[in-house]
């Protein structure tokens, strides 16, 4: 199995957010190596975030929360092919969840609401 880092804290998640990591929600564990091989750029690393960790770090609740055991798999750096595989930018996932929750782990949404 490829080198995969388990993301456990806000700093690690913010790295993926800031670097627009390519991310799959619900990727099966048996597909991690193939995703890295086909979509990873030079020196790519895989990052695994559990649904529970994403819920905790991003303040997700109710129907917006992920199943606790869901695999959220990110690659950085990546090749453009990842989009063809149904991947999304990590920032897009976090920003969309933040709009629904009214809470963003990396930005103060109150400033946006005042505009």
Helices 90-101 and 10-18, interaxial angle, to 10°? 120
Average pLDDT in the chain: 88
Residue 35 lies in a domain: yes
Residue 97 lies in a domain: yes
pTM beyond 0.75: yes
Residue 114 lies in a domain: no
Residue 56 lies in a domain: yes
Q: For residue 84, give its domain range.
A: 4-70+77-106
Residue 46 lies in a domain: yes
Residue 20 lies in a domain: yes
pLDDT tens-digit profile of 56-100? 999 999 999 999 999 999 999 988 665 567 788 999 999 999 999
Domain count of the fold of the chain: 1
Section 109-114 average pLDDT: 51
Question: What one-character-per-residue DSSP string does the chain give?
Answer: ---EEEP-SHHHHHHHHHTT-EEEES--GGGHHHHHHHHEEEEEEEEEEEHHHHHHHHT--GGGSPPTT-EEEEEEEE-GGGGGGT-EEHHHHHHHHHHHHT--SSS-HHHHHH-
């Amino acid at each position: 199995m490829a080198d995969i880092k388990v993301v456990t804290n806000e700093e690690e998640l913010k790295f993926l957010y800031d670097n627009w990591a390519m991310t799959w929600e619900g990727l099966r564990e048996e597909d991690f190596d193939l995703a890295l091989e086909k979509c990873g750029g030079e020196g790519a690393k895989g990052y695994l975030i559990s649904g529970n960790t994403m819920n905790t770090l991003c303040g997700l609740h109710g129907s917006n929360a992920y199943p606790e055991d869901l695999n959220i798999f990110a690659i950085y750096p990546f090749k453009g092919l990842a989009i063809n595989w149904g991947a999304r930018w990590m920032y897009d996932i976090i920003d969309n969840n933040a709009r629904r929750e009214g809470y963003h782990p990396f930005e103060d949404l109150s400033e946006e609401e005042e505009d």
